Each structure stands twice: as structure tokens, then as C-alpha cells.
């Protein structure tokens, strides 16, 4: 059966992650598999899952070596879970682990599985480096050789140019622009000033530091390779310091290293289950994953690269019959502070909402006092595939601490896509 006889609620039990670290630093020699395994081991320890066979584990990475073709399954085998726990790899850029959570949630809701882990990892330090196609073809030609001569002959054609490595570039194949360059264009289109971006960045760092000070991350972050906290949080930053930074993507632009996410290494995981499975094991239910939505835009001809959440959220709100203002918390991924501000401005725009979303009136503003209360990606960091699970675990814990409420998650991605979700905790839970 693909589905059961009833639709079940999808419980969020909680999550763990390793500290997020700036690239080429503490985790410079750590692989995706080692980091993902550490995040999963933290979850297994936290919820006493050693030897437990779960329904499924979904995860992935954006920057991935060919040898990691079964990355999540290999990490599961070292995690402490029962080796009979299946796993799969998935990649939807920066929304990878949020997308896996939605897929696993659908499986749980349909009765196909009772439990699952959504996870993600990325390293910007141990990136895959390949050599020119001509060199690879010579190696393959040698491998096809039947005789010793046929296997050696291709090596006589090797030239110095064959050893020039091709480093991965975080650019869009169809435009040749980096994400930062694309977002710079968005900032110009929506007239987002530099000082507004810097102010949001300052708040991101202050909120992240305060969250650590209050102990919010004590049970969410597990030590890895001597690191106990995210090492990009700048406690001493100020608007004056941020204002001195030079533009990163355009000499006359507004995006800087201070109001953009850094290249980051890290991994995260979140445990999902049916209510029955959780209660049978005495596990807490922090909140419920209730809605999810993906959208895409034509970023080549019509729209900004990172504007897809501006479309995904209103479609999800229509599904849930909610308004943008019907939320107690908002977790909007800070790929760049300009991206967050572009999205918020689009929802406030009568023209955008009428012409692009087909709405009679704008979605309106959100209460900024409810936005990214425990710090955002600019401060915490952004290992591409790991961010979604971080947001989901953090939001569920915040709702549990509040004793109830509703939260919205929004993540923009490469390829002109966006993934969004709604997390809820009834007040009586």
C-alpha cells in the first residue's frame, strides 16, 4: 500500500547538529560522511535510539564527492541505529534537509513508516576537484584496454594541460552568475539599501549570541572536533564595523561579507515520527510539521534567482487557509540579508501580489520582532544541505518552550527554487 487508511499527524521529536564552522578552518579535514555521522550519532544518543530500526532516513549534500554516492546510508551504518534502517540521498540545494523532512513527513502521515530522520551536510572545505574531460577520457580508454599495450598507450598522450584541476564554482549554469551576484541584482531591483542589510545582520549576530548565552543551543548542538559553538557568531560586531566592509560582488553594490552568509561546514539532523511511535518510547513531541510547499521561478528571464519563497509561501498559506500574519515565529533563511528584505518587500507590494501572485491585496508585513529569534544563517553559518534541518529543530523547540504557537520556515535555493513549511504546536500539547 502507498497510503494507509487515515492521515496521521507528523510529530517533530527534536534535532541535533554539530557546530557550524567557517570553511577551511576547524573542519578543513572532515568529510561530509564524518560530519553527517556525528550529527546522527548526537541524535541517537539524545533520544536513546541505539540499535533502533527506523522507517527511513533521508539526507544529502550539495558539494558531494562521487565516492559519496550513498552518503546517508553510509552515515547511518556508523550512527548507532540498527543497520536495517534504510536511507536515501536527495539534493535540493539549500533546502535539501527541509525537503527530506517534508518527504518523510508525507510517508509518516500516509502510514508508510512510523519514524524517520531528515538530515543534511555540506563542506565547503573538502570540495570535489575534477580534472579536464580529456584526461578522464584517456584514463577510461586505458581501463578499456585488453592488452598491456592498449592499457599503456593512452598515457603517452598525456600533456601538462591535463593536470590543471577544475574547481567547483557556485554559479548558475544558465546565467554564469554567482548567488551573490544574482542577489545583488535583486537588491537593485527592489531598492534594498545597504544600511537595512547591515542592521539585519547585526541583529542576527546579537540574537545568536544571546541564544547561546541563555542555553538554548545546549541540547541542539553537539561537540565535534573540539568545537562547541558555531564559530561565525560575531559578538563584537557593530553597525560601524559592518559599514566599513567593501562590497563583495559589485564595486558599487550593497552586499558584503558582513551581510551575507559565509562559506560553512556542518551537519544537522531532526527526528520525525507518528504520535504513537513517539509515545510508545516516552519521547517528547515538540511540535508538528503540518504543511510544506516548493516553488520555482524563471530566474533567467523574469524573476530574481532567490525570489521563489515569495511565491511558495502564499501558495502554502492558501493550502492552510492562513494569513501571513497568523504566525508567532518566522524562520527565514538568511542566504543574504538582501534576499530576506526583497522577499518581505515583495509581500508588502500591491503590484507584486496582484501581478505575480494573482492576489487582490498584498500579503502585508510581518512583525520583525518574531523573525529569526535565535539568530539567522548570516551569524550561525550555512552548510547548504544542513540549514533546513537546523531551522526545523530550532523552530520546534521554540514553540515547545512557548507552550504552543505556529511558525513559518522559508528557504531560498539555487536554481531559482524555494521550499517552505509550517510547524505548529497546539497550546494544550
**Nearest to residue 350, comparing CAs of 361, 341, 339, 358?**
361
DSSP state of 423: E
119 as an active site residue: the answer is: no
Q: Cell numbers at residue 387, please?
A: 540549514
Yes or no: say if 176 and 299 are a contact pair by the CB < 8 Å rule.
no
382 is catalytic: yes
d(CA 419, CA 134): 38
Instruction: From the candidates 94, 119, 183, 342, give the one annotated as an active-site residue.
Output: 94
Strand duo 115-122 + 287-296: pairing: unpaired
Rounded-to-integer distance, Cα 335 and Cα 381, Å:
9
Active site residue 412: yes
Closest CA to 4 of 140, 163, 110, 158: 110
Helices (H), 299-349: 309-320, 337-348
Q: What whole-number distance in Å separates Cα of residue 85 and Cα of residue 335?
A: 33
Residue of 183, 205, 342, 382 marked catalytic: 382
Phi/psi of residue 267, nearest 5 degrees: -150, 150
Alpha carbon separation from 403 to 286, 366, 371, 427, 428 (Å, rounded):
9, 21, 18, 6, 8
Residues serving a catalytic function are 94, 382, 412
Amino acid at each position: 500500500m502507498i497510503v494507509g487508511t487515515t492521515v496521521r499527524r507528523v510529530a517533530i521529536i527534536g534535532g541535533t547538529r554539530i557546530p557550524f564552522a567557517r570553511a577551511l578552518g576547524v573542519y578543513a579535514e572532515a568529510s561530509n560522511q564524518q560530519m553527517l555521522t556525528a550529527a546522527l550519532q548526537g541524535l541517537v544518543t539524545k533520544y536513546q535510539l541505539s540499535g533502533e530500526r527506523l522507517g527511513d532516513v533521508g539526507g544529502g549534500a550539495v558539494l558531494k564527492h562521487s565516492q559519496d554516492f550513498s552518503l546517508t546510508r553510509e552515515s547511518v551504518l556508523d550512527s548507532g541505529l540498527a543497520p536495517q534502517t534504510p536511507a536515501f540521498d536527495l539534493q535540493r540545494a539549500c533546502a535539501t534537509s527541509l525537503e527530506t523532512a517534508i518527504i518523510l513527513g508525507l510517508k509518516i502521515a500516509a502510514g508508510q513508516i512510523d519514524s524517520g530522520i531528515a538530515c543534511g551536510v555540506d563542506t565547503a572545505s573538502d570540495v570535489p576537484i575534477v580534472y579536464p574531460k580529456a584526461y578522464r577520457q584517456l584514463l577510461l580508454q586505458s581501463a578499456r584496454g585488453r592488452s598491456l599495450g592498449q592499457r599503456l598507450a593512452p598515457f603517452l598522450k598525456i600533456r601538462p594541460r591535463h593536470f590543471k584541476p577544475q574547481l567547483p564554482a557556485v554559479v548558475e549554469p544558465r546565467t554564469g552568475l554567482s548567488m551573490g551576484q544574482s542577489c545583488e541584482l535583486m537588491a537593485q531591483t527592489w531598492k534594498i539599501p545597504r544600511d537595512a542589510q547591515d542592521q539585519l545582520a547585526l541583529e542576527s549576530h546579537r540574537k545568536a549570541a544571546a541564544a547561546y548565552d541563555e542555553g538554548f543551543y545546549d541540547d541542539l548542538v553537539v561537540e565535534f572536533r573540539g568545537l562547541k559553538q558555531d564559530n561565525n557568531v560575531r559578538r563584537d560586531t557593530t553597525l560601524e564595523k559592518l559599514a566599513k566592509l567593501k562590497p563583495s560582488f559589485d564595486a558599487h553594490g550593497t552586499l558584503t561579507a558582513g551581510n551575507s552568509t559565509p562559506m560553512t561546514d556542518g551537519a544537522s539532523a531532526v527526528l520525525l515520527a507518528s504520535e504513537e511511535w513517539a509515545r510508545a518510547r516516552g519521547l517528547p513531541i515538540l511540535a508538528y510539521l503540518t504543511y510544506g510547499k516548493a516553488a520555482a521561478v524563471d530566474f533567467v528571464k523574469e524573476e530574481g534567482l532567490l525570489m521563489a519563497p515569495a511565491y511558495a509561501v502564499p501558495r502554502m498559506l492558501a493550502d492552510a487557509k492562513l494569513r501571513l500574519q497568523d504566525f508567532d515565529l518566522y524562520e527565514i533563511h538568511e542566504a543574504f540579508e538582501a534576499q530576506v528584505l526583497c522577499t518581505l518587500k515583495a509581500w508588502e507590494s500591491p503590484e507584486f501580489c496582484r501581478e505575480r501572485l494573482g492576489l487582490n491585496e498584498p500579503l502585508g508585513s510581518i512583525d520583525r520582532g518574531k523573525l529569526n529569534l535565535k539568530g539567522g544563517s548570516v551569524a550561525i553559518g550555512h552548510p547548504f544541505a544542513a540549514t533546513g534541518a537546523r531551522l526545523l529543530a530550532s523552530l520546534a523547540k521554540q514553540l515547545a518552550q512557548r507552550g504552543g504557537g505556529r511558525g513559518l520556515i522559508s528557504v531560498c535555493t539555487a536554481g531559482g527554487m524555494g521550499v517552505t513549511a509550517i510547524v505548529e504546536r497546539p497550546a494544550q500539547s
